[in-house]
Structure 1
Amino acid sequence: MFVAPAFAQESGSDNQLQTELAVETHEEGVFPPFDSTHFASQIVWLAITFGLFYLFLKKVVVPRIGGIIENRNGQIAQDLEQASRMKAEADAAVAAYEQELADAKAKANAIGQQARDAAKADAEVERKKVEAELEAKLAGAEARIALIKDEAMRDVGQIAEGAASAIVQQLVGAEADQSAVAAAVKAVRS
């Protein structure tokens, strides 16, 4: 304990002894908490302070921290459960989308196949119609060609008969028999 020298002189001999002890201790340079005369009171106060601090931690701090940890664990578990539920919903949505996409592709292929078949059938009908028209035109053209050929052959036969008659007349000097010339030209044409 630190006592001023003036106070120590008034108190008497006991106080003077304590004052001298305090002054000597102070003068020796010993830090008061490390003074061995005060160890007992310091240990008592340390035990009281430690006990109060321990009770404060046990009754206030640790339950609050435990509550916070429990709340966080509960929130994390709830978030994980919600995430797994949402993942399952997303997986189901993806599967439904893929199924609908596959159905749409199959339907599109079926529609395309039907369109190709219809186009082939229409093209076949149109081809047959055009072929029939072409065959009719071809038959008509062949008939006209045959008619023209017959007319040309008749004309050729008449021209040949005329030419043959003229040649015979120039060679022989007399007119040739028309029936003989026609028979000769006809024999050559066949």
Structure 2
Amino acid sequence: MPQFDPSSFISQLFWLAVTFVALYFLMSRIALPRIAEVLEERSERIADDLDRAENLRSEAETVITQYEAALTKARSEATSMIVGTQHDIDKTIEERTRDFDAQLGARLREAEERIGKAKSDALQQVRDIAVDITGDITTRLTGETPDSKAVAAAVDARMGGVPQ
């Protein structure tokens, strides 16, 4: 192997030094500054992104706080509306119940009056029929026509004084 030949060590070391200096010069003047610029741009972009993320996070927290406040306010308003509506409903139910009770009471009184009148009419008709039948029976049994007032008085006495 020629690289292990001691007679060519000096030339090999010379070219190693020349190549090293050339590569060092190229790297220090061209490649490394470009890499440094890219790294600096990246660090600036990362810092900007972090700042933007922090701003967005604080805005999001502000929006969440506003949302929660609006939600609390909406719930409070909804609760007060529900309470007001319930109060109105209770008031309406109470008024309608009173009206219904009044109508029902009036209808009940009318029905009781009609029943009382019907009962009175029925008793009067029963009395009249009893007076007629009693008069007819007395006529058939005795052959004489009895006095209608006497028959009516006898029927009234027996029926317990049904009014005429």
* TM-score normalised according to structure 1 size: 0.68
Give the letter for the 1:73 counterpart. Answer: S
SS in 2 for 1:175: coil
For residues 93-140 of structure 1, give each alpha carbon's deviation from its aligned partner in whole angstroms, at most 9, with x where no partner exists.
133223323322332232233223212312321231232133223323
Give the drift of 1:80. Answer: 1.5
1:184 equivalent among 141, 145, 154: 154
Structure 1: segments with no counterpart, 5+ residues: 1-29
Aligned partners of 2:145 and 2:121: how far apart in 1? 27
Compare relative contact order (CA 8 Å, sep 6+) and give the higher one, 1 or 2.
Answer: 2
Backbone CA RMSD of aligned residues:
2.7
Give the drift of 1:187. Answer: 3.5
Aligned partners of 1:45 and 1:113: how far apart in 2? 96
Give the drift of 1:34. Answer: 6.9
SS in 1 for 2:31: helix
| Pairing 1:1-40 to 2, within 5 Å after superposition | 37-40=7-10
Residue 111 of structure 1 aligns with which residue?
81
Aligned partners of 2:70 and 2:157: how far apart in 1? 84
Give the drift of 1:179. Answer: 4.2
Aligned partners of 1:102 and 1:167: how far apart in 2? 93
| Pairing 1:67-78 to 2, within 5 Å after superposition | 67-78=37-48
The size of the alignment, in residue pairs, is 160
Residue 106 of structure 2 aligns with which residue?
136
For residues 55-86 of structure 1, give each alpha carbon's deviation from its aligned partner in whole angstroms, at most 9, with x where no partner exists.
33234333332332232122212211211220
SS in 2 for 1:117: helix
Please tell me whether residue 54 in structure 1 is matched to residue 24 in structure 2: yes
Give the drift of 1:50. Answer: 0.7
Residue 97 of structure 1 aligns with which residue?
67
Residue 137 of structure 2 aligns with which residue?
167
